[in-house]
A and B are shown apart, each in its own frame.
Chain A
Amino acid sequence: MKILVLMKMVPDIVEELEVAGDGTSLDQEYLRFIVNERDDYALEQALILKDRLGATVSVVAPEAPEVDDVLYAALAKGADRVTKVSGIAENTGTRSTAATLAATLSSIPDALPADLVLSGCQAIDDLDGFIAPLLAESLDLPYLGLVSRLTVDAGTAVASKEYAGGVMGRYEVTLPALIGIQGCEKPPRYVPIAKVRAAMTSGDIETVAATSGPDTTQLQVAAMAKPTEAGHAEMLEGSVPDVAEKVADILADRGLL
């Protein structure tokens, strides 16, 4: 089985995000990048399938700061091949990014066809999560998103999705398919740093230039700003009975008692 995992880097919010002087972009000075959490689950899902069924796992990621660390860690965890894609312009629109990825994946030798293409279903900078289904459309693959459990048996994948109220949906899809991963049966595995360091010495990150797709829409960011404060929480001070009385008064005022 051949599994292709798509990963990307997103801003690390451990540092407060600042808007740059131009008012339309993030201040790069202290900005750090971290792997999109759901993509890390997609890699874990691929490695679980590899452990169980045997597979070759290839990882493709757009070039970004700190992406090399993520790709070497993927090799150390058990990925067979890692590739980064250079030259995807910033502010490329969702459709355009999907079209570029589809064209680029087709240009990487032996990357396609794959039995399974796995990707995170969302990212903190892409909550709509449209890239994966648009990419599936471009690659002419069926798509299932928000998948939290995945098993494969004899060319058929069984994917589970969580719905409100604890309801689970179970879907069968004939491979090949593109699956948008929300989570998997266990958190991403830990890889000792010594193994990552060994991968840095012996491993190889391939680099390919992006191939533009038919859609080249660039988004124009009109403005970027931090949310403005709308109001403050009211802190109730005093002894426990005083505070209890104030809470009761507030609830009564609001007609809740």
Chain B
Amino acid sequence: MVPGKLNPDPPALIEKSALGAPSVATRHGWDAPAEQASPDSTWERELGWSDEQWERTMATATVLETPDVTLDSLLASPEGRPLLSCIQCGTCAGACPYGDVMHFTPRRLIGMLREGFIDEVIASDDLLSCVTCYDCWAKCPRGLHLTDVLLPVVKEQLLIQLPEVPAELQSALSNTMRYGNPMGESPRKRAAWIDSAGVPVPILRDLGRPVDVLWIVECYAAYYPRGQDNARATARVLDALGVDFAILGAEEKCAGECARLVGEKGLFDTLREQNMATFGKYEYASLLTSDPHAFDAFSFVYPSLGLNKPVDHSTPFLASRLDALRPRLTRELGYRITYHDSCVLGRHNHMHDEPRRILEALPGVTLVEMTHNRDNTICCGGGGGGMWLDTHYKAKGHPRLSDRRVEEAIATGADVLAVSCPYEVPRFEDSLKVLGYDDRMVVRDVMELVAEALDD
């Protein structure tokens, strides 16, 4: 895991500018030839940099050290002060997947903020189009914290002042507050999927003893029917690995990462307090989650409330234990797979090799890459509240980001689109249907593919 530390000093401009130029060359050129964007070819090789040099220039995942920063105090805060150093180059606007349909791109937003015109930005609902893909942050030559610092505090004011919060988002947020999940499902039914898991899935309260791994299943894997396939597969994999694990069942609530990034800080604070109280009731050595969004929240934002346990996501968790499972991965799959790097696990946490190592270990699998991969991945459109803004985007005439991604996946000739984030399954499956590709490609979580390759 990339250490979750805020870099107090923005990287030197000269160092980042070397990275900045090729980033521009490879950003969202939808028709760019694959070899141009492949991370191990052309410009990266030509620069002849060592891994260490790349490591140094790569933007690292962040921790918000002052969670109570507000818009008023932003430019005076350690996180926000570097915004004054923005050079208005517009790389963020070019990198933003909705940069072409937003009036207030991150570049313009920073300009307005510095000149005292932020109220105009807030009065428009433009920032609802931010799907927190971390691309502006990843490609900023000044290393500015746009996605996780600037945008949430502006969006917080937006949610307060918006005359009408889009209905879908409103119900997701209200449901998360009331029921602990955005679907508005019964909290009591959160663990209903375990009856069909095929392996024992203990609930920590019933177990009555400490466990090594407390698995936070999260909302989409716990409730959404296709997400439950992921949960069942993960349970089988944990069982096969002999991991001592348990879940919270009805006591689990949403981690709240999307609430925070859409600007619903009060909801996030409430969930975080409730979850910390629940975690505090039990003894466990580490946290595991199926959701990259929860992984980010537990890794970077919960620690300020005292969460001090190691946190892992199911994909890197398995990648580090792959050798133990390898003898049991015997079922020939015969799939041509392309892997989609999620914005959070991929771009934000740079976990690109872990899922690929797992997929390459599955019998009969050929792995092919999409044009945009690894840190240069294309967002599915589901982050930062985007999961509940599809109707809003449609009404605004925005393109559907998952459609762009699926077009690229189809172009690889793969028959399976592999993912590591439970949000992506419904998004990509919907896009495959809408675009008429559902007879050519299926979407599978990495865990589902591993469970499929497992002997009985």
Contact = CB atoms under 8 A, between A and B. Distances in A.
A25 B249 CA distance: 28
A187 B167 contact: yes
Contacts of B269: 193-194, 197
A186 interface: yes
A192 interface: yes
* Interface core residue of A187, A193, A195, A197 (most chain B CB under 10 Å): A193
Contacts of B178: 34
A189 interface: yes
B293 interface: no
B266 interface: yes
Interface in A180-205: 186-187, 189-190, 192-197
Given A190-B165, A192-B160, A193-B177, A14 B185 contact: yes
A193 B167 contact: no
> Secondary structure at chain B's binding surface: helix, strand, loop or mixed?
helix
B164 A189 contact: yes
B192 to A, nearest CB: 12
A195 B165 CA distance: 15
B326 interface: no
A15 B160 contact: no
Contacts of A190: 159, 162, 164-165, 170, 173-174
A197 B266 contact: yes
Interface residues of B, number: 24
B265 interface: yes
* Interface core residue of A187, A194, A195, A196 (most chain B CB under 10 Å): A194
A163 interface: no
Contact of A193 (B162, B165, B267): B267
B76 to A, nearest CB: 20
A16 B188 CA distance: 10
Contacts of B177: 193
Contacts of A194: 156, 160, 264-266, 269
Interface string B174-189: 1001110000111010
B257 to A, nearest CB: 15
Nearest to A69: B178
A192 B186 contact: no
Contact of A195 (B185, B266, B270): B266
A108 B202 CA distance: 53
A231 B63 CA distance: 58
> Secondary structure at chain A's binding surface: helix, strand, loop or mixed?
loop
Contacts of A197: 266, 269-270
Contacts of B188: 15, 30
Contacts of B179: 14
Contact of B266 (A30, A186, A187, A193): A193
A180 B267 CA distance: 32
B271 to A, nearest CB: 9
Interface in B393-437: none
Given A14-B184, A15-B186, A192 B266 contact: yes
A34 B179 CA distance: 11
Contacts of A193: 173, 177, 264, 266-267, 269-270
Interface string A26-64: 000010001000000000000000000000000000000
B255 to A, nearest CB: 15
Nearest to B179: A14
Contacts of A34: 178
Contact of B159 (A14, A186, A192): A192
Interface in B360-393: none
A50 to B, nearest CB: 14
A196 B266 contact: yes
A36 B269 CA distance: 27
Contacts of B270: 193, 197
B264 A192 contact: yes
Interface in A156-190: 186-187, 189-190
Interface string B248-266: 0000000000000001111
B156 A186 contact: no
A223 B164 CA distance: 44
Contacts of A15: 186, 188
A175 to B, nearest CB: 27
A195 B161 CA distance: 12
Contacts of B265: 192, 194
Contacts of B167: 187
Interface string B67-90: 000000000000000000000000
Contacts of B184: 14
B266 to A, nearest CB: 3
Contacts of A192: 156, 159-160, 263-267
A16 B185 CA distance: 11
Interface string B181-207: 000111010000000000000000000
17 contacts: A14-B186, A34-B178, A189-B164, A190-B159, A190-B164, A192-B159, A192-B264, A193-B173, A193-B177, A193-B267, A193-B270, A194-B265, A195-B160, A196-B266, A197-B266, A197-B269, A197-B270
Given A187-B164, A190-B159, A196-B266, 12 more contacts: A14-B184, A186-B164, A189-B164, A190-B162, A192-B156, A192-B267, A193-B177, A193-B264, A193-B266, A194-B160, A194-B266, A195-B266
The 10 closest A-B pairs by CB, nearest first: A194-B266, A193-B266, A190-B165, A193-B267, A190-B170, A14-B186, A192-B159, A15-B186, A197-B266, A192-B160
